[in-house]
Amino acid sequence: MKPWETVDRAEAPGVGEITLVRRGDEYVFRVRGQTLMSSRQHGSEEALAKAGCAGLAERSNARVLVGGLGFGYTARAVLDTLGPDGRVTVAELLPVVVAWNRSHLAALAGAPLEDARVTVVEGDVGKHMARTAGAYDAILLDVDNGPSALTHPDNHGLYGRVGLAHAVQALRPGGVLGVWSAGPSPAFERRMEQAGFTVETLHPAAHGTKGTRHILFIGKRRPQGRR
């Protein structure tokens, strides 16, 4: 078996060392030496885009926020769903991940950041939602390992009551919040419901129909005042 090759590495404030490694055609992100994600396992990211953007292909001027760029597969799947007048905002906390997606990783998902419909925001997606009112038809969050297995404690706020309140604020009436998770979290599902979402959970495979099953929380924003 071929050894892993280090493509690039960087120090990310508050995160530590993040490394991009490659073996053959597979790329992996490592954070402080631990594998965070692999380019071979993106079936659940594409399922997140499909479920979160259901019905938006026919909607004019649809707007979608993707929190967490990863290898670009979620953004690509959203672009493939939306019409030509749709727009996608990608919020990514780590500038180096954006840089890698514009260089080493661009070809993996068909260079989604080169699509004219995409705007990249380098910063915290939670803060972006907090200052954006009623802007999005769908918000898709794939940050860290989801609410159940965080590698960085600062990400807890995104999945807490305040973070969910910001998501409600940023969505248009009837909008959808989709959240990727490495594993189940009944407590998070309850928080989504308490925040004003009707929640469905999906269990797509990490790689096509094979591999580890991940969890998707798909929440439709209820009209205000309804429980």
- Mind listing the pLDDT tens digit for each residue in 76-119? 999 999 999 999 999 999 999 999 999 999 999 999 999 999 99
Say which residue the tokens 């380019």 belong to. Answer: 39
How many structural domains compose the chain? 1
Are 186 and 175 a contacting pair, CB within 8 Å?
no
State the CATH number of the domain containing residue 207.
3.40.50.150
116: in domain = yes
Region 192-213: mean pLDDT is 87
125: in domain = yes
Neighbours of 121 (CB within 10 A): 18
| Torsional sign, CA 40, 217, 186, 169 | positive
Say which residue the tokens 């493509």 belong to. Answer: 7
State the pLDDT at residue 225. 45
176: in domain = yes
143: in domain = yes
State the pLDDT at residue 153. 58
Per the structure, the complete domain to which residue 203 belongs is given by 41-221
139: in domain = yes
Half-sphere exposure of 218 (CA within 13 A, CB side): 17
State the pLDDT at residue 1. 78
150: in domain = yes
19: in domain = no
- Here the tokens at position 40 are 């071979």
Measure the CA–CA gap between 24 and 210, rounded to whole angstroms. 21
State the pLDDT at residue 36. 87
Residue range 5-57, pLDDT digits in tens: 999 999 988 788 999 999 999 999 999 888 989 999 899 999 999 999 998 99
215: in domain = yes
